[in-house]
A and B are shown apart, each in its own frame.
Chain A
Amino acid sequence: MKFLPLIFANLLRKKVRTVLTIGSFAVALFLFGLLATINVAFSQGIDVAGADRLMVINKVSIIQPLPLPYRDRILRIPGVKQVTFANWFGGVYIDEKNFFAQFAVDPETYRSMYPEFVIPDDQWKAFREDKAGAIAGKLTADKYHWKIGDRIPIKGTYLSGVFEFNLHGIYRGTRPQDDTTQFWFHWDYLNEKMPASYKNMIGWYTLRIENPDQAARVMKAIDETFANSPYETRAQTEKEMATSFAKQMGNIEFLILSIGAVVFFTLLLVTGNTMAIAVRERTAELAVLKTVGFPDWAVLMLVLAESVLVALLGGGLGIALAKALTLRGDPTNGLLPIFYLPPGQIATGVGVALLVGVIAGFLPAFSAMRLRVVEALRRV
């Protein structure tokens, strides 16, 4: 602590240079925070996937439907505890840019399948009793300033016409990464509007199994049950489903790692160069410190502390800005419903900044430590 005034005084000696170096860290860590947030957005389904939940979709693709009667047959398969289903709606609220996921769900079973979504009993009851009822996630409700009792018009895309919904409830997530942008309404309401050829068809089944260890067996049993039928199935764990969905967007994680590595390597060079210049400019002063009795390790630590302090100040600022941005919610109008920078990623960012600070400062600090006092004083 008693060396802090010396460290800060040295940092403030070239204010513009210090500000620029801190700025470099801030920009890099802001970018890191943003990339990490995007990565989380794409992989959030993987992280939040329930271990005991399976998804069953049409073997051809998720956009192909499955018959509703499959529900009872799936329920009869040993190991299956509970089944619910849903359809994608894809309607437009006022304007096409207002994007959020809309699902036609089964009010009898959907809520208990997703205990991570919390909704008051009275709101759910009101929703169940009104065929035109709807439930919205908190993020979406806040975004459009919806209140319970509001009438929400949503224009169909694959179905013509405007669908009017009565908002009876707002759900919240139990974890920060839970998706609270969805909009649920009665599957029956949608089914009524469907053309005859699509009636009693659903988009996917979600089922809970008794034991996650039996997932492979249950999935195999389901797919075998519907093999060689007009609607063959593909059962997979919720996690696999989320992973394959994320992979459709490309290898986001690799992309982010590559960009991050380039940014941090550049930062390492910039900071290392800055610290080397700072030490070179201060050769005589470092020699004076050694003359008055500062041991080698203290000189090393002083230079290293400067580098680390710059890294932490800049890194902290960048991460804080990234966090502040994510607190304002998804800036893409629904493409990234989970726009969230988790504490683990914040810690990683700060840790990486710290590491860059240490590595960048080490060589200049080491050369300061090895400085020969007599030679350095001769240069004064």
Chain B
Amino acid sequence: MKLGSGNGNGLIKVRNLDKKYMRGSEEIHVLQGLNLDVDEGDFVAFMGPSGSGKTTLLNLLGGLDVPSAGSITVAGDEITRLSGSRLTAWRARHVGFIFQMYNLIPVLTAFRNVELPLLLTGLGKAERRKHVETVLGVVGLGDRQQHYPRQLSGGQQQRVAIARAIVADATFLLCDEPTGDLDRKSADEILNLIDLLVRDHGKTVLMVTHDPRAAERAQQVLHLEKGVLVEGAPSAVRA
């Protein structure tokens, strides 16, 4: 099975991806022989019931976890062959993560939270400031730079998280339930922002969601069921 837009400029290529782990003496097969192609500028949503392997897939694509078998190639780099430290460096360069619970550092201001990925680069202070101010402007929080997470609404915190994800110009963004903790209005604002990043900034986005309204925004919706990827509605399995 090969899913994804696959229109020729394949940014992400997943082949025969397997992920198993042990729970006590029981072997859990989370992902089974998964294939996927995602092109640059795609916005792909993954849906599926809890335990279907959505977050595991995202973790594997982001280099946070290693597969039991198969390969993942991103922009020509087979990340499943990279060592731990090289994978970390690769992640810093290529991946922007957006989590359901925002995962901001509570003791840092919005500015400092967004600046974090840039601390790993060779950019000077002035350059870092310029980058951070730019992306905070993009997410509409130019006037909230010195606010701490506790002083921001959920939607604003998620915007800060998005700014952090894009500040180092990541190759693609991985969003794990980005609207899962937000009210409808804030969720729509976040989705509009993600739309904007795809449409106007050419970002590639892979999003895990339970929310059909969020999934509607994606160019393609893929369903995971018991570790197997299917396109469209859960029943529309293609061989």
Contacts and interface: CB of A to CB of B under 8 A. Distances in A.
Interface of A: 2-3, 5-6, 9-10, 12-13, 284-285, 288-296, 298, 373-374, 377, 380
B103 interface: yes
Given A285-B105, A377-B99, A2 B85 contact: no
Contacts of B107: 9-10, 12-13
Contacts of A3: 119
B57 to A, nearest CB: 12
Nearest to A294: B120
A6 B92 contact: no
Nearest to B85: A295
Nearest to A284: B103
A interface SS class: helix
B9 interface: no
B213 to A, nearest CB: 24
22 contacts: A2-B119, A5-B112, A6-B105, A6-B119, A9-B112, A285-B103, A285-B106, A288-B105, A291-B91, A292-B92, A292-B117, A292-B164, A293-B120, A293-B168, A294-B88, A294-B120, A295-B88, A295-B120, A296-B85, A373-B64, A373-B65, A374-B65
Interface of B: 59, 62, 64-65, 84-85, 88-89, 91-93, 97, 99, 101, 103, 105-108, 112, 116-117, 119-120, 125, 128, 164, 168
Contacts of B125: 2
Nearest to B88: A295
Given A289-B116, A374-B64, A9 B89 contact: no
Contact of B103 (A293, A374, A380): A380
B125 to A, nearest CB: 7
A291 B64 contact: yes
A270 to B, nearest CB: 23
B105 A293 contact: no
Contact of A6 (B64, B84, B103, B108): B108
Contacts of A291: 62, 64, 91, 97, 103
A296 B84 contact: yes
A291 B116 CA distance: 11
Contacts of A292: 91-92, 97, 116-117, 120, 164
Nearest to B97: A291
Nearest to B91: A293
Contacts of A377: 64, 99, 103
A288 B164 CA distance: 11
B28 to A, nearest CB: 14
Tell me which of B93, B107, B120, B128 has the highest count of chain A C-beta atoms within 10 A of its own C-beta: B107
Contacts of A380: 99, 101, 103
Given A6-B112, A13-B107, A295 B99 contact: no
A293 B119 CA distance: 10
Contact of A293 (B106, B117, B128): B117
Contacts of B97: 291-292
Nearest to A14: B107
Nearest to A3: B119
Contacts of A296: 84-85, 88
Contacts of B101: 380
Most chain B beta carbons < 10 A, residue from A3, A6, A284? A6
Contact of B93 (A293, A298, A374): A293
B41 to A, nearest CB: 23
Contacts of B108: 5-6, 9
Most buried by A among B85, B92, B105, B164: B105
